[in-house]
Amino acid sequence: NLPQKLSVLFDHDGSADDFLSLLLLLTMDAVDLQGICITPADCYAEQAVETTWKLLQLTQRPAIPVSVGDCHGVNAFPAAWRAKPRILNALPALLNLDPAPTPLDARPSAVFLRDALAQATQPVTLLLTGPCTNLVQALDLDPSIAGNIARVVWMGGAVDVEGNVRTYNHDGSAEWNVFWDPAAAARLLAYQLPLTLIPLDVTNTVPVSKAFLQSLARHMAHPWANLAGQFWATTVDTIPAYEYTYFMWDVLATSYLAIPEAFRLERVELRVVASGPSAGRTQRQPGCEQWVQVATQVDQAAFYAYVLQQFTQSA
Ligand code: AGV
Ligand code: CA
């Protein structure tokens, strides 16, 4: 008997580390990627679709369906961040690939997700590396799909640490993926699915370090190491007005699918602040009965070693 693969649906929002997550996911032999949804949050959808398709071509997976979400966060990402990944499509490794090799799935991501989950023949793991709006819309369309969700793994939140939102009229306590659509996040928690959060508490411990990039660059003869190194190089000028460091955010959440044993989790009762100066804050609230698994620590060395191994393995 072959061990059963993990059936995965991936919803990303088009920032550089979302694509590094996609590349990492596509290197995982134990993952069967069923479809990709794009949330137009930390990206412009058109560019994000193009990069997604190009990565699927490079990794010889052209049949994986791609859909775009019909959703708008109440708190938009800075335009400079959204436009930034456009540079990825101009890198020599991607520039000459077909920008639109297949049609986009005609359904908005919420409908795509609902259908994919309704038709699933085994429980599906949802990996979210942007806001959770598409999934919440899908659950609203048909709450019974919850029965086919094995687990939701979401890069989002800041539980016992400061957030990373630095904007007018905000106290800085929220993480961006939650802040984009706080109401959706609040509803996701209320759905009480098996949910594992990979919040800033743990992503803060894994910066995109120069030492890591140097070890990757030593393997630049390998196509994935080369491409990943170039993607990360586009992030080193992160706008100082907001932050000084780019973190492994989404890549860490993605690695959880393959190396869960490297993480320490805590069961927490959590609520989301819906509005006001702390909008999007994820806060412990004993007694609220919204139980979530929160990653609080990771074995950093094991994580960096895993990513390096995946991007340097022979295809
Ligand atoms: O808050 C982290 C989330 C992750 O999903 N994103 C980036 C990752 O894809 C928002 C974000 C925070 N700081 C950023 C972000 C920055 N300096 N540039 C772009 N996006
Ligand atoms: Ca993201």
This model of the complex carries an ipTM of 0.99
Ligand 1 center from residue 248 Cα (angstroms): 10
203-252 tens-digit pLDDT = 999 999 989 999 999 999 999 999 999 999 999 876 544 455 789 999 99
For the chain, what is the total number of helices (H) and then of strands (E)? 13, 9
- Which residues' Cβ are closer than 6 Å to ligand 1? 15, 17-18, 42, 81, 129-130, 155, 164, 175-177, 238, 242-243, 249-250
22-62 tens-digit pLDDT = 999 999 999 999 999 999 999 999 999 999 999 999 999 99
Mean pLDDT across the chain, nearest whole number? 95
In angstroms, the CA 312 to CA 315 distance is: 9
Residues by chain with Cβ below 5 Å of ion ligand 2: 13, 15, 18, 129-130, 250
Ligand 1 center from residue 308 Cα (angstroms): 22
Best residue for ligand 1 mutational test, from 245, 249, 250, 282 (most atoms within 8 Å of Cβ):
249
Local confidence band at 9 (pLDDT 50, 70, 90 cut-offs): very high
In angstroms, the CA 234 to CA 259 distance is: 27
Question: Contact 41/180 with Cβ under 8 angstroms?
Answer: yes
| Among 146, 315, 175, 309, residue whose Cα is nearest residue 242 | 175
Sort 15 into a burial class: Cβ within 10 Å, 0-12 / 13-18 / 19+. buried
pLDDT at 1 over 80: no
245-261 tens-digit pLDDT = 789 999 999 999 999 99
281-297 tens-digit pLDDT = 999 999 999 999 999 99
Ligand 2 center from residue 3 Cα (angstroms): 30
Ligand 1 center from residue 77 Cα (angstroms): 9
Q: Which residue, judged by its Cα, is nearest atom 10 of ligand 1? A: 176
Buried b (16+ CB within 10 A) or exposed e, 104-140: ebebbbbbbbbbbbeebeeebbbbbbbbbbbbbbbbe
Q: Which residue, judged by its Cα, is nearest atom 17 of ligand 1? A: 238
Side-chain half-sphere exposure of 293, counting CA atoms within 13 A: 16
Give, for 228, the enclosing helix (H) or strand (E).
Answer: helix 223-233
What are the backbone dihedrals phi and psi of residue 297, each rounded to the nearest 5 degrees, phi first?
A: -150, 155
pLDDT at 167 over 70: yes
pLDDT at 315 over 70: no
